[in-house]
């Protein structure tokens, strides 16, 4: 890409009030690990690659299936049966060849989190199992990395920025709350626009963190109810019952 092409490509970023070339360079220097390449991860990857994030590490053990296509539109009918991380790599490269994609065709487990996350500046939790979320949050806390966690099921979703600060609450503090019961797409179905909405909120938080163009609302759980077009916010505090950080 020539300098002229670079300015032209990102020209609408530079028209933003508080966004200049240094912010674009910060995105280009950033390495992000996305754990889970379903509805959340695939949407987030598309937006991040398009915005000019330099490196994306994609982690998923799954293959593209027919039932993914109504909301995971990075994938095509021809890619059914292919590993998601390689299918996504092909599609993302067509949008922005300057983005380096590192595919990890594996389930994220404690034993391999260092391998897939160590070089990342921040982590996106786009998984669909509570066990993996907790393991990822425990790892993020251990190595002081920022974690942007999203989940969606049915007509609702939630997103939270978990601070790398050792005193800040973690995902375990949230799941230790009695009232907190995450739903799953397999049990509750999923309305496609909801999962895309949540993924893009994760991206906003992440981009604010990387560039500093706006403050990150750390430790605030944002809950979206799509049937009421309603967002509610709750402040998360360290939970004495948390088995990860207390």
108 binds Zn ion (CB under 5 A): no
Closest CB 242 distance from Zn ion, rounded Å = 3
Closest CB 151 distance from Zn ion, rounded Å = 17
Closest CB 176 distance from Zn ion, rounded Å = 7
134 binds Zn ion (CB under 5 A): no
The single residue among 173, 198, 205, 221 that binds Zn ion, judged by CB under 5 A, is 173
Q: Among 49-57, 159-167, 169-177, 205-213, which window interacts with Zn ion (CB under 5 A)?
A: 169-177
C-beta of 205 vs 236, nearer to Zn ion: 236
245 binds Zn ion (CB under 5 A): yes
Active site amino acids? 185
* Three-state secondary structure readout of the chain: CCHHHHHHHCHHHHCCCCCCHHHHHHHHHCEEEEECCCHHHHHHHHHHHHHCCCEEEEECCCECCHHHCCCCCCCCHHHCCCEHHHHHHHHHHHHCCCCEEEEECCCCCCCCHHHHHCCCCEEEECCCCHHHHHHHHHHHHHHCCEEEEEEEEECEEEEEEECCCCCCCCHHHHHCCCCCCCCCHHHHCECHHHHHHHHHHHHHHHHHHHHCCCCCCECEEEEEECCCCEEEEEECCCCCCCCCCC
172 binds Zn ion (CB under 5 A): yes
170 binds Zn ion (CB under 5 A): yes
174 binds Zn ion (CB under 5 A): no
168 binds Zn ion (CB under 5 A): no
30 binds Zn ion (CB under 5 A): no
244 binds Zn ion (CB under 5 A): yes
Interface contacts to Zn ion, rule CB under 5 A: 170, 172-173, 242, 244-245
């Amino acid at each position: 890409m020539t300098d002229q092409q670079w300015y032209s490509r990102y020209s609408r970023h530079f028209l933003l009030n508080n966004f200049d070339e240094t912010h674009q360079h910060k995105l280009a220097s950033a390495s992000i690990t996305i754990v889970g390449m379903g509805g959340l991860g695939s949407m987030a990857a598309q937006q991040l690659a398009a915005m000019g994030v330099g490196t994306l590490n994609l982690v998923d053990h799954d293959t593209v299936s027919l039932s993914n296509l109504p909301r995971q539109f990075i994938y095509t009918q021809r890619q059914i049966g292919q590993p998601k991380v390689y299918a996504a790599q092909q599609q993302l490269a067509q949008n922005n060849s300057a983005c380096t994609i590192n595919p990890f065709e594996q389930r994220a487990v404690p034993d391999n989190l260092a391998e897939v996350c160590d070089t990342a500046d921040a982590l996106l939790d786009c998984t669909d199992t509570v066990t993996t979320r907790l393991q990822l949050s425990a790892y993020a806390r251990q190595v002081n990395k920022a974690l942007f966690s999203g989940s969606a099921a049915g007509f609702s979703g939630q997103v939270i920025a978990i601070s790398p600060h050792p005193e800040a609450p973690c995902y375990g503090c949230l799941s230790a709350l009695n009232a907190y019961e995450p739903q799953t797409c397999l049990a509750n179905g999923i309305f496609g626009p909801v999962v895309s909405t949540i993924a893009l909120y994760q991206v906003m938080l992440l981009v604010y963190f990387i560039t500093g163009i706006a403050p990150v609302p750390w430790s605030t759980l944002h809950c979206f109810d799509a049937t009421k077009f309603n967002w509610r916010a709750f402040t998360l505090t360290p939970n004495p019952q948390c088995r990860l950080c207390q």
